[in-house]
């Protein structure tokens, strides 16, 4: 199977899970936001050599070469830019990259008769939901960033391709908030520069790289005033991909295009997450309350019953073990 963006955070963990489930993977990545060491980590964990092609999926002729050199029926498309704030400042960079690379993948899958496309979507498509938890039927809200818009547009592109082309089937997985790292601490998230996401900022603060964590907003209408999210262990998330692939290659899809929420179903506040991180890792974090961050929604968490029943998958790991793995990974990266 082809894994685009397979050197990235979710891509590496998914490659490990796929290999452990008996699948062969070919990774395509241009290292625009990842490093060759990530592939080495996957090789160390699995004890296997990873077939790797350093190709930009926006370059359709280079990507065609990958299709011609390798046999696969399935692609998992992770390759995308993902920084929400940067997408507001540089929308064309996001539209060009995220849409071109996905359309290239879809076009070549169709051209070469490769049937199964799995797309990395996001809970961001739900915006600020009217009702919680969100199901796959909950309405998508107008995107509040070009990044979010590319997720919605790619979902629509995949849906339309699946309906128009006999030989193309698709699944979109809507990820909630992936956090943590592989328990080996050999792979994990490698943010460049100042992290935008909560858990990398927490671990870097604990490591002394950042002085103080700002908790964005303490006046939300929630029990402790901070935002609620559905934080899912990246290894659970990786296993959801294997379950979705099993469904596709096993011919068990009920529709040509299907969508699944991938979360835990449990809302956790920012403050609760920070307190849990401190407790499980036995340390004190320097943090302060700060104003709300523009564009943040107050609360979003998943109804995961469809993924539970149709994929036979469930998030199993506790927040405690996930936050321990996040800290173990940061310590590994920093040689602490």
Q: In whole angstroms, give the CA distance from residue 89 to residue 265.
A: 32
Q: Applying CB under 6 A, does 201 fall inside the site for ligand UDP?
A: yes
- Which residues, 282 to 301, sit near ligand UDP by CB under 6 A? 293, 296
Distance in Å, CB of 297 to ligand UDP, minimum? 7
- What is the number of the residue whose Cβ is closest to ligand UDP? 227
Cβ atoms of 306 and 173 within 8 Å: the answer is no
Q: Which is nearer to ligand UDP, 14 or 226 (CB)?
A: 226
**Applying CB under 6 A, which part among 3-11, 48-56, 95-103, 194-202 lies near ligand UDP?**
194-202
Q: What angle do CA 268, 272, 273 make, to 5 degrees?
A: 75
Given 12, 34, 101, 177, the residue binding ligand UDP (CB under 6 A): 177
Given 25, 58, 234, 270, the residue binding ligand UDP (CB under 6 A): 270
Q: What is the x/- site pattern for ligand UDP, positions 212-231, by CB under 6 A?
A: -xxxx----------x-x--
Distance in Å, CB of 273 to ligand UDP, minimum? 8
Distance in Å, CB of 85 to ligand UDP, minimum? 9
Distance in Å, CB of 215 to ligand UDP, minimum? 4
Residues 6+ apart with CB under 8 A from 225: 217, 218, 219, 271
Q: How many CB atoms lie within 10 A of CB 83?
A: 20
For the CA atoms of 186, 196, 101, 252, what is the dihedral angle to 10 degrees? 70
Q: Applying CB under 6 A, does 266 fall inside the site for ligand UDP?
A: no
Distance in Å, CB of 277 to ligand UDP, minimum? 12
Q: In whole angstroms, give the CA distance from residue 194 to residue 166.
A: 45
Q: Applying CB under 6 A, does 322 fall inside the site for ligand UDP?
A: no
**Applying CB under 6 A, which part among 180-188, 210-218, 259-267, 307-315 lies near ligand UDP?**
210-218
Given 46, 100, 184, 196, the residue binding ligand UDP (CB under 6 A): 196
Q: Which is nearer to ligand UDP, 33 or 104 (CB)?
A: 33
Q: Which is nearer to ligand UDP, 74 or 124 (CB)?
A: 124
Q: Which of 18, 12, 72 is nearest to 239 (CA)?
A: 18
Q: Applying CB under 6 A, does 144 fall inside the site for ligand UDP?
A: no
Query: Known catalytic residues?
Result: 147
How far lies 11's CA from each of 6, 18, 157, 188, in Å?
A: 4, 10, 21, 10
Q: Applying CB under 6 A, does 95 fall inside the site for ligand UDP?
A: no
Q: In whole angstroms, give the CA distance from residue 293 to residue 219.
A: 12
Q: Which is nearer to ligand UDP, 101 or 205 (CB)?
A: 205
- Round the CA-based radius of gyration of the chain to a whole number and report it: 19
Residues 6+ apart with CB under 8 A from 274: 202, 213, 215, 285, 287
Cβ atoms of 281 and 203 within 8 Å: the answer is no
**Applying CB under 6 A, which part among 45-53, 180-188, 196-204, 256-264 lies near ligand UDP?**
196-204
Q: Give the end-to-end CA distance of the chain in Å, rounded to a whole number.
A: 36
Q: Is the peptide bond before 166 cis (omega within 30 degrees of 0)?
A: no
**Applying CB under 6 A, which part among 67-75, 109-117, 207-215, 328-336 lies near ligand UDP?**
207-215
Distance in Å, CB of 46 to ligand UDP, minimum? 28
Q: Applying CB under 6 A, does 197 fall inside the site for ligand UDP?
A: yes
Cβ atoms of 198 and 226 within 8 Å: the answer is no
Burial of residue 234, with CB atoms counted within 10 A of its CB: 0-12 exposed, 13-18 middle, 19 or more buried: buried
Q: In whole angstroms, give the CA distance from residue 253 to residue 259.
A: 11
Where does this chain bind ligand UDP (CB under 6 A)? 177, 196-198, 201, 213-216, 227, 229, 270, 293, 296
């Amino acid at each position: 199977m082809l894994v685009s963006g397979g050197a990235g955070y979710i891509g590496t963990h998914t490659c490990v899970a796929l290999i452990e489930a008996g699948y062969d993977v070919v990774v395509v990545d241009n290292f625009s936001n990842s490093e060759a060491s990530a592939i080495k980590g996957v090789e160390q964990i699995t004890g296997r050599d990873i077939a790797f092609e350093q190709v930009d999926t926006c370059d359709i002729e280079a990507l065609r070469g990958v299709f011609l050199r390798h046999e696969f029926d399935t692609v998992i498309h992770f390759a995308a830019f993902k920084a929400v704030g940067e997408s507001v400042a540089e929308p064309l960079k996001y539209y060009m990259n995220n849409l071109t690379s996905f359309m290239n993948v879809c076009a070549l899958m169709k051209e070469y008769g490769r049937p199964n496309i799995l797309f990395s979507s996001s809970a961001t498509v739900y915006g600020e939901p009217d009702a919680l938890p969100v199901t796959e039927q909950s309405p998508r809200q107008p995107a509040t960033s070009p990044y979010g818009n590319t997720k919605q547009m790619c979902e629509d592109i995949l849906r339309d391709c699946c309906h128009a082309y006999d030989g193309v089937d698709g699944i979109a997985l809507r990820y909630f908030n992936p956090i943590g790292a592989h328990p080996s601490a050999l792979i994990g998230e490698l943010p460049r520069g100042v992290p935008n996401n909560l858990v990398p900022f927490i671990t870097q603060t604990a490591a002394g790289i950042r002085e103080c964590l700002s908790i964005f907003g303490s006046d939300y209408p929630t029990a402790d005033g901070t935002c609620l999210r559905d934080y899912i262990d990246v290894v659970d998330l990786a296993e959801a991909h294997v379950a979705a692939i099993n469904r596709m290659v096993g011919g068990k899809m009920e529709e040509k295009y299907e969508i699944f929420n991938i979360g835990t179903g449990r809302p956790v506040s920012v403050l609760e997450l920070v307190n849990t991180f401190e407790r499980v890792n036995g340390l004190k974090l320097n943090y302060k309350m700060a104003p709300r961050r523009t564009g943040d929604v107050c609360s979003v968490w998943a109804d995961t019953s469809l993924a539970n029943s149709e994929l036979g998958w469930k998030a199993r790991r506790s927040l405690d073990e996930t936050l321990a793995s996040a800290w173990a990974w940061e310590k590994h990266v920093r040689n602490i």
